[in-house]
Structure 1
Amino acid sequence: MLKTSANPNKTPQSVSARSISSAVSSYKQPPSKGPRMLSMRMATSVLSAVVLLGLSHVAEAVTCGDLKTFYKGQQCCGSSSKELTVTVPGCPYNFNPPACNMAEPQTPRDLSTGAQGQMTPKAATLTDAQANFLPLVNVHFHYGAEHKSDSYQNGTDSEAYDASSGRRLASNPRPGWMCATDTLSSSQMTPYTFQYCKGDVQVGKSYEVHYVHSSAGVDSDMTDGINADDLADGLGGAANGRGILNPMVVVQGQVYQIVSGGPTVDDLLHGWTVVGHENSVMYPGSTTGQSWDNSVCSPYAITWHVDKECHQVSPESFDNLCKVMKETYNMEADLYPHGSRKLVDSKFVVKAEYVKPLA
């Protein structure tokens, strides 16, 4: 259940009816496979609803009926722009994303030779052994690399995307940095029909796969400890699985270029431990994705381990990654590539001295 601590000195806060409507409409049951963690969106919506209901102490879980009653009582239906003034009873968590000049260091950072940053981090950076001690809670991939290195630095696709106009949907993700294709032969560029990976996944393109580890991870069988992998779509399990609101999170990022006839990798789901990552760095940053830019930044502090090499893999190997995600872990949303966040301005990433060889 969710609780808020009382604070009689808390001043009223103005919120829109739209936020209540979103809280009600976005409440979804977790998948049926095992005791899944709440998604971040669901947890945020429910906690926001608790605050909006004006409860100083929630002794029982808030029900959908509670939300519906409050929504109707405030006459919000059909009035999405209506402003409400409610007393917020001292909820210790603020889900409003910070302005970048108030946030901790961000990701992705330019990892090319000589790239600079200006921030000194407050969070410690976890090592490779510490990362692998944490449960693997999610695997997903981005269209193109979010990071930039000497090995993947082709920005043609992202420049074309950024120059175009119009609303961008999840079905049209922003491309990141690509590995070079000028040395690939026509046979290496032979198209492949993917059976399990969805959306814009194609031969010749590059994808940054993120292996997300978190101390908030849980196993589908709670009786045998928490360190067994139990993957699910999204990052809710990493951010607040088991109700943990201050987890340690490490993301391992590895870039793969899909090449027909390329090397076979049987287990890309654990690619970080299967494919060599000798040329890797570690640094403190944040979550990524198109939700953040150089104005509004991620509020989460994350350790990053990034392989600076570009690894070629066969399309069959990459499709098998999606096959395992779908058939073993019932994943669906993460079979599609995520959009890539633009490289963060040097003002909001760590100084070079905090980008260290992986240890």
Structure 2
Amino acid sequence: MLRLLAVIACLAKVAIATCPDDPEVDLCETTGEETGSGFRSSPWMALVLPLATARPKVATGLALVLALAVGAEAVTCGELKDFYKSEACCGSPTTVLSNPVPGSPACPYNFNKPACNTAEPQTPRDLSTGATGSMVPKAATLTDAQANFLPLVNVHFHLGAEHKSDAYNNDTDAMAYDAASSGRRLASNPRPGFMCPTDTLTDAQMTPYTFQHCTGDVQVGKSYEVHYVHSSAGTDNDASDGMNADLLADGLGGAANGRGLLNPMVVVQGQIYQIVNGGPTVNDLLHGWTVVGHNNSVMYSGSTTGQSHDNSVCSPYVITWHVDKDCHQVSPESFDNLCKQMKDLYGMSVDLAPHGSRILVSPTYVVQSQYVVPLA
């Protein structure tokens, strides 16, 4: 066997020596016969063919090793030469390629969003009394303790509640938006979700407030679903500061691909706040939803949300959801301070404005009611 390996090494040396280190000669000259040869006409085959008769088992093993070495989709020298010329590389070795090199492995991931009839259970789900669902989740639902063990990687808020409950179910603004947009996403305005009732609020409670840090459609009297996104892709570099949020940033990139991870565990905690003058003062709305009680909260398996998904195009992600089914009033100063902290502490800017709310997902694409359980 050692002799066999020595022969292979010699053949490799011979094969390499036949190609001068000159790209103009190797790939750009046009005289002489172009064999277009790959593995079949290479020195390797000259070794394998005689062995096929004398030592069939050795030949089979060697052929397998060589096939793995060159790849199942081996590219011929002629194909590589044609590609080199088609990319206008001759005489220009610094040219940036405009197409993948032949034989390059295809990306194993499909980033197209799935149709809803092939996706896993979706969010937002109707959490009202008696609301139904049709799907059985395949993923486990993480608990409150497990969620808080995961670093906080993003906080953002949606105009209106994406979920629906007995406490927040006013869809007047949502219906008006949908009628005006004819199903199209309006780039200039986020789609509103469900609102907490305002009929019991006084004129003083509805007095307008000028927000200094929040941007976009943030107003007294309106409701917002704040999402606290926890992910195993985050990290806690300083355990002594009491804030498990070292990668807090705009967007969900840190949740889905922080530190290069491709399959993180993600939990989103959803809290619905109604901004009311004279409402409770909360000094820190940013670092988690622990500032209020969650006696009427549930957890279930769903997906990411947002206005880019509906009942036809669904989210490809599997997410654990913890949702408080109550409306919580908060002062405009407290909500504005949330945006100030996002900006001053973490340099966030995009998420200082409310995101659009996804339309309530059809019962066909959400979990059955038995999988919506009290928060534990």
Distance (Å, rounded) in 1 between the aligned partners of 2:72 and 2:114? 25
Q: Which of these residues, 259, 278, 286, is aligned with residue 242 of structure 1?
A: 259
- Matched with 2:285 is 268
CA shift, 1:92, in A, is: 2.2
Q: Which of these residues, 167, 170, 174, is aligned with residue 151 of structure 1?
A: 167
Q: Contact 2:245–2:287 (CA<8 Å) still a contact in 1?
A: no
CA shift, 1:155, in A, is: 0.2
Q: Contact 2:73–2:103 (CA<8 Å) still a contact in 1?
A: no
Q: Which of these residues, 223, 229, 232, is aligned with residue 215 of structure 1?
A: 232
3-state SS in 2 of match to 1:164? helix
Q: Which of these residues, 40, 54, 70, is aligned with residue 97 of structure 2?
A: 70
What RMSD in Å do the two structures reach over aligned CA positions? Answer: 2.7
CA shift, 1:276, in A, is: 1.3
In the alignment of these two chains, the number of paired residues is 288
3-state SS in 2 of match to 1:274? coil
Distance (Å, rounded) in 1 between the aligned partners of 2:71 and 2:261? 22
Normalized per residue, which structure has more helix? 2
Distance (Å, rounded) in 2 between the aligned partners of 1:122 and 1:217? 24
Q: Contact 1:171–1:199 (CA<8 Å) still a contact in 2?
A: no
Residue 317 of structure 2 is aligned to residue 290 of structure 1: no
182-191 or 166-175, which deviates more = 166-175
User: TM-score, normalization: structure 2?
Assistant: 0.72
Distance (Å, rounded) in 2 between the aligned partners of 1:293 and 1:168? 11
Q: Contact 2:247–2:254 (CA<8 Å) still a contact in 1?
A: no
3-state SS in 2 of match to 1:153? coil
Corresponding letter in the other structure for 1:254: Q
Residue segments in structure 2 that go unaligned for 5+ positions in a row: 1-69, 75-82, 84-92
Residue 349 of structure 2 is aligned to residue 332 of structure 1: yes
CA deviation map 1:160-218 (0-9, x unaligned): 00000376445400000000000000000000000000000000000000000000013
- Matched with 2:268 is 251
- Matched with 1:91 is 107
Distance (Å, rounded) in 2 between the aligned partners of 1:256 and 1:313? 6
Distance (Å, rounded) in 1 between the aligned partners of 2:360 and 2:72? 43
Distance (Å, rounded) in 2 between the aligned partners of 1:115 and 1:357? 15
Corresponding letter in the other structure for 2:198: T
Distance (Å, rounded) in 2 between the aligned partners of 1:203 and 1:192? 7
- Matched with 1:113 is 129
CA deviation map 1:81-102 (0-9, x unaligned): xxx9987724221111111010
Quickly say closer, same or farther: Cα 1:228–1:154, change in 2 above 3 A: closer
Distance (Å, rounded) in 2 between the aligned partners of 1:339 and 1:216? 25
Normalized per residue, which structure has more strand? 1
User: TM-score, normalization: structure 1?
Assistant: 0.75
Percent identity between the two aligned chains: 76
Residue segments in structure 1 that go unaligned for 5+ positions in a row: 1-5, 11-53, 55-65, 75-83
Corresponding letter in the other structure for 2:122: Q
- Matched with 1:352 is 369
Corresponding letter in the other structure for 1:120: V
Quickly say closer, same or farther: Cα 1:232–1:170, change in 2 above 3 A: farther
